[in-house]
Amino acid sequence: MLKILGYRDENIIKINLEDLENHRDYILIWMDCYAPSDEELLKLSKKIGIGVDELRVGLDEQEVPRVEEEEDYYLIIYKAPLFEEDVTTTSFGIFIKDNIVLTIHSDKIKSIGKIYSLLKSKKPKTLLGKGIGFFLYVLLNQITLNYSRILLNLEDKLDRLEYALIHGGKNVTEEILQLRKTLVYFHKALVSNKDVLSILKRKYLPITTQEDREHLEDLYYDTLQLLDMETTYRELLVSMMDMSLSIENIRMNQIMKILTMVTTVFAVPVWITGVFGMNFKYMPLIDSPYGFWMVMGVCLITVIILMYVFVKEGWL
């Protein structure tokens, strides 16, 4: 799926791929390509003059974030959060050529949809009228904000997990492991994005002005703060995991202690009844009319004594 928006005369105009020959009539053109077919990719390649193989790089989810400066275009690979069954990350490509910004991705990226919403609610001049460098900052800033929102939501989840852990909630360990997995993805993505922003903020690329580089520098420090936040949450999850395992061990010890006490309480009565259950002709009290009650009395007294000892020791 391909969407093309052009900006001129302080207005946003939808453009067809066939009309892209007149791209220089616009201040900036934003093309968003989501999960394109081979045919769409070939048409796009012919129109913007970037090879199909190069465009496929932006569709590879496993590509390492980086900045590449080619002869007639720039390629930026960046990591964005991906919302599926679990929150993970995915790579996508940003191609910049002349006045065209192409975002290409194989997964649905929430931050890009947010930019469409911003273009409808705000004046286009605010986002598209300040040049390619500022629009690049807006795009990367939306992705960073998405990371921030997710991490803030994780803080609420951590509070709920801690409460559930203390009050004996179920499946807490599984949720902790899932959150740790998400934070590992985020750590790798944020470290890679930090390296990309480090290049963009200090390298004098023609597509960015000094003001754009200052904005990107602010974004760089925001990413550093997110990394610190992610590290803190990961350490909290490690502590919670240790606490969860300790609580499980305590519960298991309590169960084993109860089972041991039950075994101890009934061990003597079982032994006595076992002795008198042996098939011998001559047994003590076997001919006594009070023999059964005497044996039962001994068993009951033994149980009472053992229970008294357990209560006195504080085991019950």
Nearest alpha carbon to residue 190 among 140, 237, 139, 240: 140
Query: Phi and psi at residue 109, in whole multiples of 5°?
Result: -105, 120
What is the CATH classification number for the domain harbouring 308? 1.20.58.340
- Domain end marker among 111, 127, 143: 127
Burial status of residue 255 (CB atoms within 10 A of its CB: 0-12, 13-18, 19 or more): exposed
Is residue 300 a part of any domain in this protein?
A: yes
Is residue 198 a part of any domain in this protein?
A: no
Is residue 188 a part of any domain in this protein?
A: no
Residue 94, CA distances (Å) to 11, 36, 209, 248 in order: 23, 15, 18, 48
- Per residue, the 3-state secondary structure of 56-102, as one string, reads HHHHCCCCCCEEEECCCCEEEEEEEEEECCCEEEEEEEEEEECCEEE
Tell me if 131 sits within 8 A of 209, measured CB to CB: yes
Q: How many domains does the chain have?
A: 2
Residue 21, CA distances (Å) to 26, 31, 62, 73, 100 in order: 11, 14, 33, 17, 12
Tell me if 143 sits within 8 A of 81, measured CB to CB: yes
Within a 10 A sphere around the Cβ of 79, how many other Cβ atoms? 24
| Domain residue limits at 71 | 1-127
pLDDT on residue 209? 80
Tell me the whole-structure pTM to 2 decimals.
Answer: 0.72
pLDDT on residue 131? 80
Please state the separation of Cα 18 from the chain's center in Å. 40
Within a 10 A sphere around the Cβ of 282, how many other Cβ atoms? 6
Is residue 186 a part of any domain in this protein?
A: no
Tell me if 295 sits within 8 A of 272, measured CB to CB: yes
What token pair was written down for 298? 């001994």
Per-residue pLDDT tens listing for the chain (316 residues): 778 777 777 777 777 777 666 666 777 888 888 887 888 888 877 877 888 888 888 888 778 888 888 788 888 888 888 776 677 888 888 888 888 888 888 888 888 878 877 777 766 667 777 788 888 888 888 888 888 888 888 877 777 777 777 766 566 777 777 788 888 888 888 888 888 888 888 777 777 788 888 888 888 898 888 888 888 888 787 777 767 666 677 777 777 877 777 777 777 777 777 777 766 666 776 677 777 777 778 778 887 887 777 777 766 6
What is the CATH classification number for the domain harbouring 17? 3.30.460.20
Query: Phi and psi at residue 104, in whole multiples of 5°?
Result: -130, 130
Is residue 53 a part of any domain in this protein?
A: yes
Please state the separation of Cα 257 from the chain's center in Å. 39
What token pair was written down for 168? 């004996």
Is residue 155 a part of any domain in this protein?
A: no
3-state class of 11 per DSSP? strand
pLDDT on residue 99? 81
- Domain end marker among 127, 160, 178: 127
Burial status of residue 65 (CB atoms within 10 A of its CB: 0-12, 13-18, 19 or more): buried
Query: Phi and psi at residue 204, in whole multiples of 5°?
Result: -85, 80
What token pair was written down for 280? 């011998």
Is residue 163 a part of any domain in this protein?
A: no
Is residue 161 a part of any domain in this protein?
A: no
Tell me if 96 sits within 8 A of 206, measured CB to CB: no
pLDDT on residue 316? 64
- Domain end marker among 84, 110, 127: 127
Cα angle for residues 230, 234, 241 (degrees, 5° grid): 160
